[in-house]
Structure 1
Amino acid sequence: MTSGTPGPATGTTGGPELVDAVAETVRAVPGVHDLHGGVLGEVGTYLPGRRVAGVRLTDDGCDLHIAATRVAPLADTVRAVRAAVRPLVTGRIDVTVEDVVA
């Protein structure tokens, strides 16, 4: 893609740019405090020299784990995350709320 903006992709074919775009998009959703690596830190993507916690791209979509705020009902926040990420990732978008932050 010549625009510099990652387009819809699945799996790891989007590379670091897609992972970073998904992470940035999720963090910008009202009601999301931050991404969350899971109970044991098992959810994330390893990139050269770093790890992006809370984002896992798969062959059929992505898994996103978040810490939510009490700004909106959790179901609304989850729907907003899916809608925000939909232009970037095709396939299923699983969102897990790992924590709620006051």
Structure 2
Amino acid sequence: MTAQERADAVAAVVRAVPGVADLHPGMFGEVGTYLPGRRVPGIRFGDDAIAVHITVREDAPVRETAAAVRAAVARDWPGVAVNVTVEDVVAHD
């Protein structure tokens, strides 16, 4: 799997979790995966972990949503630590 396919796959899994409004690039835009011609914000791959930064909808339980994101990503990438950070909570539109 290419870096582009991997980043897009993780982004799709995260965005499909109920309660997730979107991925979040971090306070200063520091979290992201850089690809040729574009960037996938909110996802960073390390040697042994995947960092996922999200925005949660206000009507969703924050801890449970983060745990659901962690579990969803871990299902597709077993053996890799998944670190989820909730950066913001937004109104449900």
Structure 1 residue ranges, 4+ long, deviating more than 6 angstroms after superposition: none
- TM-score, normalised to structure 2, is 0.90
Letter in 2 for 1:55: I
1:33 matches 2:21: yes
Aligned mates of 2:5, 2:50 — CA distance in 1: 15
Q: CA RMSD in A?
A: 1.2
Unaligned segments of structure 1, at least 5 residues: 1-5, 7-13
Q: Aligned partners of 1:100 and 1:68: how far apart in 2?
A: 5
- Deviation digits for residues 22-66 of structure 1 (CA, Å, limit 9, x no counterpart): 001101100100000000000000011100000001101100000
TM-score, normalised to structure 1's length?
0.83
Deviation at 1:72, TM superposition (A): 2.2
Percent identity over paired residues:
57
Q: Which runs of 5 or more residues in structure 2 are unaligned?
A: none
Q: How does 1:1-102 map to 2 (within 5 A)?
A: 14-89=2-77, 90-102=79-91
Q: Distance in 2 between matches of 1:100 and 1:53?
A: 17
How many residues get paired? Answer: 90
